[in-house]
Amino acid sequence: MSNVAVDVLLAIGVAAELLCCIGVVVMRTTADRLHYVSAGYTVGPFFVLAALLVREQLSQIGLDALAAIFLLFLFGPVVIHATARVVRLREEHK
Amino acid sequence: MALRESELDGVAALELGGAIATLVLLCLGEAFHRSAYFDVPVVCVVLTWIGVLVFTRFFAKDVP
């Protein structure tokens, strides 16, 4: 039962990341692409973390994965905001 | 993406690539089942963050 849950969560995480990649390629403007990048920083990693925690519980490996995903959650919005700010500055000065 | 579109689109793709690289490293660490390998994605997140901030700072200087 636990293995099935891990497989399903991992598959959802990979599918989410794949969708984000497709969105980044297909969208027209940089701002639209950044929305998909933002989703790639949150949705996919959440499911991968859930899969890891189901498999490892709160062991050393689970806590390390938790730290990595926490940093991803923390730093993701910062870099996306920084990029969006530069995009807006460039559009204003066109 | 960096070749076909503008440089900021390339930065956006780099951000997503960093996130995916982190997840791949996490999965590899789990596959090898070595806790020492789980330090690598943490370093990858921080380096991606620094790299993207350097790029955005660089491109922001182009704006008059």
| Torsion of the alpha carbons at A8, A11, A16 and A19, rounded to the nearest 10 | -140
In the prediction, which pLDDT does A50 show? 94
Domain coordinates of chain A in residue numbers? 2-92
In the prediction, which pLDDT does A74 show? 92
The H or E element that residue A17 is part of is helix A2-26
pLDDT digits (tens, 9 = 90+) for B14-47: 999 999 999 999 999 999 988 889 999 999 999 9
Mean pLDDT value across residues A69-93: 91
For chain B positions 12-51, those within 8 Å of chain A (CB to CB) are 12-13, 15-16, 19-20, 22-23, 26-27, 29-30, 33, 35, 38-39, 41-42, 45-46, 48-49
Domain coordinates of chain B in residue numbers? 7-60
Q: Whole-model pTM?
A: 0.90
Which residues fall within 8 angstroms of residue A32, CB to CB, at 6 or more apart? A23
